[in-house]
Structure 1
Amino acid sequence: MPLGPAPSGSLSDVLVGRRSELALLRSVIGSPPSLALVEGEAGIGKSRLVAELFAAPDLAGTRRLVGQCEQLQEPLPLSPLLDAFRSAGAELARSRLPLNPVAGALAPLLPEIAEHLPPPLPPLPDQRAERHRVFRAAVALLDHLGPLVLVLEDVHWADAGTHDFLAFLAAHRPRDVAVILTVRTEAGLLPIREAFARAPSGPARTISLAPLSLPEVEELAGGVLGVELPRTFAGPLYEKTGGIPFVVEEVLRTLLERLPAGEIPGRPDVLADLAVPTVLRDVVLQRLSSLDDPSQEILGAAAVIGMTPDDRVLAEVSDRSPPEVARALAKAQAVGLLHEEDGRSRFRHALARQIVYESVAVSGRRWLHLRTARALESRGGPRPVARLAHHFLHAGRTSDFVGNAEAAADTALSHGDDATAARFLLRALEVGELSRDVRVRLAVKLGRAAVDGLAHAEAVPILERLLATEPLPAPLRGELRFALGRLLRQHGQARAGYLQIEHAIDDLGERPALLGRALAVLAAPETVVDRHVSEHTARCEQAERAALRSGDPDVAIAVRITRASLLLEQGDPESRRLIDALLADERLRASPREHARACLNWAQGALHAGRLDRAEILLAEGRRVADEAEYLRVAEVVSLVTAAVDRAAGRWDGLEERLRRLGDTSATFAAASLDSRLLRGALLAATGPAEQAVEVLREVIAIAGRTGAVWPLIPARTTLSRLLLSLDDAAGAAEHATAALDLARAKGNWVWAAESVSCLVDALDALGGRGGAEEVAELRAGLGRADAPLAQAALLTAEAVLARADDAGRADRLLDEARVLLRKAGLRYEEALAGERLGRWRCERGSGDGGALLEEALRAYGAMGADRDLARVCRVMRQNGVPIPYPWRGGRPSHGGTLSSREREVALLAAAGKTNQEIADALFLSRRTVESHIANALRKLGLASRKELRTFPVE
């Protein structure tokens, strides 16, 4: 399985400036299973590095498969990988080892080598299951062919299906296979990067290629010219080319046509005519102008056709004979515009092809695109609909473009590639002169593809405009409204999406399957404000009737999932039975995407109720199914739920940074981004800095309030209430607790209301009153015997606060019951808060075990890194004469109760009123380091906030 010739036409036989990168790449393939990502800008030498690797004498015989991702790739599954497999026929013919029967799934996709594969397998009814089986087959074939190296070039052009396979491969790497991918850095964030980072057998190694330095450009040019280069020439050459090896060689190639090699170093003036922004264009056009007119015309047609033009198509498009085409390609290869690869002429670089393409007059390009499309149409075999769509679009034949773009989308959808389908449909819908019927048909398909295809922002205005301007039949209008509602919800517009789906219900009466799914969405209680839980229950019952009427088992499963979620959020014990029954149901197992989504949603619902044990089990199941089904679309949700579980369990090491990344505005799912910001705000409320926690929580409240998302609006207000109370703002705490309670009361879900009632009672107590008894009684009646440890503990805590003034013993018993309940639930942080409160109460009454409870809370806070809580409990211990052990088991290293010199320096500046950024600038520290020093100082001094530093004798 030879690699084939390197991208040549290269003037230098020696690789310059890549020794460490080459050594790293060598080490990666030397220890399979392994992954390497070679990245850099266009022309930087990614392919050359890989070619150089296998040019080494000891690696020249390495078995390898090579696939090339093309910019114009048909939406067929694993196209570049299948191209690589086609070269393995001889190897398979020689092999005497039996192949895994699952490899037969590749036989229909690889007719050229099907005789060497196991018999084809019977098709599966679910396209996603079929694709998963093809993935398994590809991994089995790689395993059979090993040891080998799989090289995929230009992965930035790969289709979503190939990206999904690579993620699957990262999690199921064959023992003796190394994988090398080349990718442009300007391609942005690849969806496979996260999967590569968390691959079970170790993360991928990234080899980043930077431009050459001035000495390296000098070495490269000197080697090409065969003379020592003076800096008077090397400097301008470096400036003109930016150190990009491909551009350096192209400039030198042009100069060698004008001057003898020995004269060039003494003529830096010849570089002056090359404008910096257009240096590559200048040198490529210079090469092109050296060709005769017929050759230029043929090469222009070749650039229109693609990177590797087919000789027969090129002859037809250029209206030249095959010998004329062959001569023109040979001339272009001689001047370095083309090179030979696998026996075919190929442009040396995508940039060179683009420049040649743009050299053709616009009218000529349109004509060549049309001729190319007609030539491709006339060929036998499957229609290359993606390439036809491209050429018809640039030929100005919009109706032909739309037809082929729709066909390409249909092909992508048939293979489960929703993202590619959405891309083709969006382009088709940009055409202005579409008929109403075509526009509606395309929009309906877009609505189906865009949710999983992640084309939310682009699809929303198209569907909105269509609904506003076109008189549609009710069933179609209902389907489009439902699709729009789902898109809006995933785009973070909770209330707007919910209302769209509500409006769709009346139009879907004749389509019970779709009606059942729409009603199931409306039955989810956590998505929108001002809808009572009784309305959600009624929607769920309607959904069950619609599912029964449809006779569709998949809809029935979806509705049962919603019923379980609805009961789980209310703490109904029946939810456990329903969930267990669904997890054992083969129909759910047969739909891995539905299975994964259900488990993740249930895990979040379990956390809302404080059932950490169930949440961890459900998260593990959801993650396992998502990984096995290569379901990358839920990667962010998996990370979010994992972070939520880790926070609830007290596993906080590195959690804040994870949440910071998840909450980034570039996150795919806006709702997941908002939830992660809530988690980060709650974490900062415990770890500090408090000011940043307040800022994050207020932002979450503002966004959730604007979009109408009841979750995380209720917990954000509750968390902020608790935080403001610790900052001595009891009035602000009462205001947010009341607002959260009003939202939960309007929803009718008392599991969600419990924390806000507890916060309200604490705030009113801090204000000197004894209010909150009515709210506590209301909570007790609403909560009943709900299976919700977090809510039940909050109720017990609120009752303890109310009882304390009249019956301290009863208050202690209630609070201790809450503490034990939280301990059993594994909620370490909430348990520590309850223990601290109980310890403080007992110390204030002189009870002997109060100090032990405070020390226990101290150790728990220290293990979690809850610095703000550490500072508070230290202050309480000092006030009550309880000795503070330093260092405590599980705590962070410190200078005991004494400030380090740097902590003292930072604390003095903070006490003087300097902001964190001002302190960072003054001391040449990062802002994050300043925040850490202030948190440590507050903890050691037993202070609750930086405001107290102003009156505390830091020195």
Structure 2
Amino acid sequence: MARLPFEPLRAAPPGSLSEALIGRRSELTLLRRAIAAPPALVLVEGEAGIGKSRLVAELLASPDLASARRLVGQCEQLQEPLPLSPVLDAIRRAGDDLAQSPPVNPVVGALALLLPEIAGHLPPPLPPLHDQRAERHRVFRAAVALLDHLSPSVLVLEDVHWADGGTRDFLSFLASHQPPKLSVIVTLRPTAELLPVREAFARAPSGPGLPVTLTPLSAPEVEQLATGILKAEVPASFTAPLYEKTGGIPFVVEEVLRTLLERLPADEIPGRPEVLADLAVPTVLRDVVLQRLSSLGGAARDILGAAAVIGTTPDERVLAEVTGHGPAEIAQALTEAQAAGLLHEQDGECRFRHALARQIVYESVPVAGRRWLHLKTAQALEGGPGPAPVAKLAHHFRLAGRPAEFARNAEAAADLALAHGNDATAARFLLQALDTDGLAGDARVRLAIRLGRAAVDGLAHAEAVPTLERLLATEPLPAHLRGELRFALGRLLRQHGAAREGYLQIEGALDDLADRPALLGRALAVLAAPETVVDRHITEHTARCDQAEEVARRSGDPDAGIAVRITRASLLLEQGDPASLRLIDELRGDDRLRAAPREHARACLNWAQGALHIGHVQRAETLLAEGRRVAGQADYLRVVEIVELVTAAADLAAGRWDGLEPRLRRLSGASATFAAAILDARMLRGTLLSATGPAEEAATLLDEVISIAERVGAVWPLIPARAALSRLLLTLDDPAGAAEQATAGLARVRAKGTWVWGAETVLCLVDALDALGRAAEAAELVDELDAGLAGADAPVAVAALLTARAVLTRGAPALSTAAHEGHGPLASDRPIHATPEAAADRLLDAARTVLRDAGLRYQEALAGERLGRWRCERAAPGGGDLLESALRTYGAMGAVRDIARVCRVMRQNGVPIPYPWRGGRPSHGQTLTSREHEVALLAAAGKTNQEIAGELFLSRRTIESHISSVLRKLGYLSRKDLRALLTP
């Protein structure tokens, strides 16, 4: 049944982890529509745990039923259920209403002895009838008459599949004699015993009953359910195995999450999908499944145990061969299991209801029996028709305790996975094979070489690294194999976040690769990438690239030649060399690159990142779109997170900030798998929070990035993180701290020789020295930057240089403009005499134009704000308009810290603040809520977020959100400003 958009509802039954009803919107609409026009008969059908009772509870909580009486009865799973027990229970609850009602039909007296608790409100008991059938008929009439008397009402009978025969007969009678203002809802699992009730409902005089069938939740709905329970964003890497494990059955999803919550904090669970693989089955679910299993006959239990060993969807041919039972016995056993709710039909096949049901049945088979069944299954699969299912064979031979057969099939499965481009699966098979006891040394080396190749593009970095390190340390290897292993290990280490260690491993592999020029060329090309490691000057990277070109030419391998040209383009691009763009366009049109989609996708994504590093946003987005398209067509899983990261970086640069912070938090959180990308994502998030707040979190993030990058030797994002933290400290009125960070970043820039990357660092240092009254000390530094950028096509760096020149010019004596604009490519062709202020304005306006043309909205707004402030301070025209324009840009982007600052500048200079000014985004008002006021006072008193959270019984994240909102509403830059709230 089609699902409608998710909308939270509130009618959670006791014990439920979820407060909201997920999915079921169309089903709930059907129920409401039926109940709104009594008489109504509704059958809510579905398997155990599917959410029948939850749906009915939601209906009963609806305001639409406020005037209707609710009568609810529960059928019980008893060996001998009491006759009419659920109907009598439902009526019994209306005793107080009967006490105040008009006289009741005398026939209702037939119920007096059955309902002694409310007999005082019923007519006197009737004399017994000698005919048992007549007595039962009179009781049925009495129950219907009493329900009619209590109407308008809704009668709900839960779990009718457990009802006794008398109750089922009564439901058939009720369908034929339904009171006009009574609605009847029954919940049930599909069983043969209920066919008479279904038929009676279908033939009811008041109209056929409405069947509402509940199916399992879809994967997106499972994600919604998990998100609501965990109160955290749940990535696809967790949702997919959760859905597979639970089959989308809400009860099973809740029980799985309940079990995980007993072991892990809620916000940690989404980032740990591996815990689902090793999950102990929830006790409640185990008991349910084992009870159903025990209801089967002995032969059926044995066959189902073998089916659990074979797989989620057991092959009946294999099942017959493994168990020795004939087709008829197999069919009968599977039918019994399906009737018990252990199996179900899907796409024409009989399969376990969900992975946990299979796991419970599997674990019910004794260990020795399981090993024997795995061996029999492997032998049956080997003798089957068609190509050998090597992946399945590897699985069964491993669990059968046959290491040689397992290793052989695991290697074959890895080959098959590589042929289909599934490097991650191949790496997992190879890792398992390498762990096999008694594996020969040559076989171990062969597998390790293949693992190194597969794991680079696979997702098994953390497992593969120690395996390769162990082999290099313990196995006597010929030079060419040792070199290949070290090259693979170096690449893995770099991708795993160990930049310096990986770089050194690749450097150490060069001599061993001397006789393998194609591989040597690729290794040199990796070493030529400038953004990978500190302690290597740009000239050394250029030399490595030259070596790579020579080696690739000598090898005659066209693929190696393409790889080196890709690296050359990246090397030039990161330096802002205009020649890089021409080379990139040539490569994009090269048929050899187009024929290698993975290389093509990687190249475009790397170039997109390089373009963003220097400020070419539009060029970056073109390359990103191409890389995303090629990767998608090639099903290149490894780069999925890189695509998301580069997309987020492009959105940050272009000022598309709506919803960006949660994306960056996910990319930098525990669920991320690509370690080298996590550091970049944290740097981007810290940069974003520097503008949107809270500032404390931004500073913490940037500090962490700097610390980790220094430790692992990753020059990017070390340099931009230093610059971002320096800029943040300037906004927090800490110019000394800003100067310290910028100076440390500048040392890395000089050591690397990449002044294009260092321009923002230089500007931060100039601003910090200017705030400290020492701007003159920065003149030589700006000249050094000017020389380092000679001929560079890098908008971010060029704008930073112009701005730094403007800061210095503004405080200098009146000279010609050219004297203050430097002698690089941006210098004026002829001097134009002007005041320092006018010259500074001209430089800053030029910087603003460069940023606007590059599409860097936020940086353009910062430059406009600076220019507007300068003009307002000397009462020059246009300053207020510039400040208002910056304010509107900040408002549209949600840069609340910048909003607070520019508003303060506008108030100080008498510039009216327009309202509304947030570019059409919804305003939430400027008045603090009672909770925000409470949090603000505690923060003003000096309490930390953790202390406030403990005192108010809230989460730390909630407190951080309140603090950020308070600062935005009050126009404060930091929590230090909150102390003003304590001033009388």
Report sequence identity in percent: 69
* Distance in structure 1 (CA, Å) of the matches to 2:882 and 2:501: 49
Give 1 or 2 for the bigger CA radius of gyration.
Answer: 2
Structure 1 residue 529 displacement after superposition = 0.7
Other structure's SS at 1:684 match: helix
2:566 equivalent to 1:561: yes
Matches within 5 A, 1:259-278: none
CA deviations over 1:794-850 (Å, ceiling 9, x no partner): 112222222222232333322222222222222121122222222222332332333
Is the aligned partner of 1:865 residue 2:905?
A: no
Matched, 1:911 2:940: yes
Structure 1 position 839 matched with structure 2 position 868: yes
1:676-695 to 2 correspondence within 5 Å?
676-695=681-700
Paired with 1:617 and 1:733, the residues of 2 have a C-alpha distance of 35
The Cα shift of 1:788 comes to 0.8
Q: Quick one: distance in 2 between partners of 1:654 and 1:192?
A: 15
**CA distance in structure 2 between the partners assigned to 1:332 and 1:207 by the alignment:** 19
Match of 1:472 among 465, 469, 477: 477
Measured after TM superposition, the shift of residue 439 of structure 1 is: 0.7
Q: Which residue of 2 aligns with 1:490?
A: 495
Counterpart residue identity of residue 833, structure 1: L
The 5 Å alignment of 1:251-262 reads none
Choose which of 485, 488, 501 in structure 1 pairs with 2:506: 501
Task: After superposing the two structures, state which structure 1 stretch, 845-854 or 668-677, moved more.
Answer: 845-854
Partner of 2:634: 629
CA contact 1:619–1:638 (8 Å) conserved in 2: yes
Paired with 2:983 and 2:892, the residues of 1 have a C-alpha distance of 26
Please give the alpha-carbon distance, in whole angstroms, between the structure 1 residues aligned to 2:969 and 2:377: 75
Residue 568 (structure 1) shift: 0.5
Cα distance change on mapping 1:371 and 1:943 into 2, 3 Å? closer
Partner SS for 1:734: helix
* Aligned-pair CA distance for 1:654: 1.7
Whichever residue aligns with residue 413 of structure 1, its letter is: L
**Contact 1:291/1:332 (CA < 8 Å) preserved in 2?**
no
Deviations 1:459-508 (A, max 9, x none): 11111111111111111111111111121122111111111111122111
Residue among 606, 609, 616 paired with 2:614: 609
> Aligned pair 1:585/2:590, yes or no?
yes
CA contact (8 A) 1:887 1:893 kept: no
SS of residue paired to 2:515:
coil
Map 1:430-449 to 2 at 5 A: 430-449=435-454
Q: What are the superposed Cα offsets for residues 661-705 of structure 1, whole Å, 9 maximum, x if unpaired? A: 221122121122211111111111112221111111111111211
Whether 2:755 is the aligned partner of 1:750: answer: yes
* CA distance in structure 2 between the partners assigned to 1:778 and 1:942 by the alignment: 39
In structure 2, do the counterparts of structure 1 residues 455 and 881 end up closer, same or farther at CA, with 3 Å as the change threshold? same
Contact 2:23 2:221 in 1 (8 A): no
Amino acid at match of 2:801: L
Task: Judge conservation of contact 1:919–1:930 (CA < 8 Å) in 2.
Answer: yes
* SS of the residue 1:526 aligns to: coil
- The Cα of 1:628 is off from its aligned counterpart by 3.2
- In the alignment, the residues of structure 2 paired with residue 664 and residue 826 of structure 1 have an alpha-carbon distance, to the nearest angstrom, of 29
Given that 2:217 and 2:248 are in contact with CA atoms closer than 8 Å, whether structure 1 keeps it comes out as: no
Equivalent in the alignment of 1:112? none
| Larger RCO of the pair (alpha carbons < 8 Å, separation 6+) | 1
Per the TM alignment, residue 334 of structure 1 is displaced from its structure 2 partner at its CA by: 4.5
Residues 332 and 525 (structure 1), Cα distance of their counterparts in 2 relative to 1, 3 Å cut: closer
Aligned ranges for residues 884-895 of structure 1 at < 5 Å? 884-888=913-917, 890=919, 894=923
Per-residue deviation at 1:951? 3.7
> 2:791 pairs with 782, 785, 792, which one?
785
CA contact (8 A) 2:525 2:548 kept: yes
* Inter-partner Cα distance in structure 1 for 2:753 and 2:391: 52
Q: Secondary structure at the match of 1:409?
A: helix
Q: Which residue of 2 aligns with 1:291?
A: 298
Specify the alignment match of 1:944 in structure 2.
973
Alignment coverage as a number of residue pairs: 726
CA 510–871 in structure 1, closer or farther in 2 if over 3 Å, else same: same
Question: What is the CA distance between 1:363 and its match in structure 2?
Answer: 3.6
| Worse-superposed segment, 843-852 or 727-736 | 843-852
AA at the equivalent of 1:495: R
Look up the SS of the partner of 1:787 in the other structure: coil
**Aligned to 2:907, which of 873, 878, 895?**
878
Cα distance, 1:519–1:874 mapped onto 2, change above 3 Å: same
Residue 543 to residue 848, structure 1, CA distance change in 2 (3 Å): same
TM-score computed with the length of structure 1 as normaliser: 0.69
Query: 1:734-763: per-residue Cα shift (whole Å, max 9, x none)?
Result: 111011111111111110111111111111
**Corresponding letter in the other structure for 2:895:** A
Whole-Å separation in 2 of the counterparts to 1:919 and 1:712 = 33
* CA displacement 1:574-614 (0-9 Å, x = unmatched): 00100111112122222222222211211111111111221
Q: Does 1:736 align with 2:741?
A: yes
**Deviation per CA, 1:412-460, whole angstroms, max 9, x where unpaired?**
1112121221121111111121111111111111111112221111111
Hey, what's the Cα distance between the residues in 2 that align with 1:424 and 1:825? Answer: 47
CA 1:355–1:850 in structure 2 vs 1: closer, same or farther (change >3 Å)? closer
TM-score (norm 2): 0.67
**Deviation (angstroms), 1:302:** 5.1
Shift of 1:389: 1.6
Contact 2:655 / 2:858 at 8 angstroms: preserved in 1? yes
Q: Distance in 2 between matches of 1:745 and 1:360?
A: 67
User: Which segment drifts farther, 480-489 or 920-929?
Assistant: 920-929
Contact 1:302/1:309 (8 A) holds in 2:
yes
SS in 1 for 2:510: helix
User: 1:642-721, aligned counterparts within 5 Å?
Assistant: 642-721=647-726
For residues 107-126 of structure 1, the aligned pairs below 5 Å read none
- How far the C-alpha of 1:520 sits from its partner, in A, is 1.3
- One-letter amino acid of the structure 1 residue matched with residue 553 of structure 2: L
Deviation at 1:777, TM superposition (A): 1.7
* Distance in 2 of aligned mates of 1:357 and 1:933: 49
Change (3 A) 1:929 1:890: farther
Tell me, which stretches of 5 or more residues in structure 1 are unaligned? 1-17, 28-40, 47-178, 198-205, 215-238, 240-273
Whether 2:526 is the aligned partner of 1:521: answer yes
Find the counterpart in structure 2 of residue 369 from structure 1: 374
One-letter code aligned to 2:901: R
Q: 1:633 to 1:20 in 2, by over 3 A?
A: closer
Per the alignment, in what secondary structure is the counterpart of residue 545 of structure 1? Answer: helix
Higher mean displacement: 628-637 or 409-418: 628-637
Q: 1:730 to 1:818 in 2, by over 3 A?
A: same
Distance change >3 Å, CA 912–CA 402, structure 1 → 2: same
| Structure 1 letter corresponding to 2:411 | E
CA distance in 1, matches of 2:294, 2:526: 62
- In 1, the alpha carbon distance for the partners of 2:975 and 2:357 equals 60
Q: Which amino acid aligns with 1:449?
A: A
Cα drift, residue 904 of structure 1 = 5.9
- 1:330 is aligned to 332
User: CA shift at 1:374, angstroms?
Assistant: 3.3
Q: How big is the shift at 1:376?
A: 3.2
8 Å Cα contact 1:481-1:503 kept in structure 2: yes
What is the RMSD computed on CA atoms of the aligned residues? 4.1
* Stretches of structure 2 lacking an aligned partner (at least 5 in a row): 1-19, 30-45, 52-215, 228-232, 240-245, 259-281, 814-835
Contact 2:304–2:333 under 8 Å retained in 1: no
What is the distance in 1 between the residues matched to 2:525 and 2:693? 40
**TM-aligned CA distance change 1:535 to 1:915, over 3 Å:** same
CA separation of 1:693 and 1:376: change in aligned 2, threshold 3 A? closer
| Counterpart pick for 1:210 among 250, 254, 269 | 250
Determine whether 1:463 maps to 2:471. no
Greater Cα offset, 567-576 or 495-504: 495-504
Q: Which amino acid aligns with 1:782?
A: G
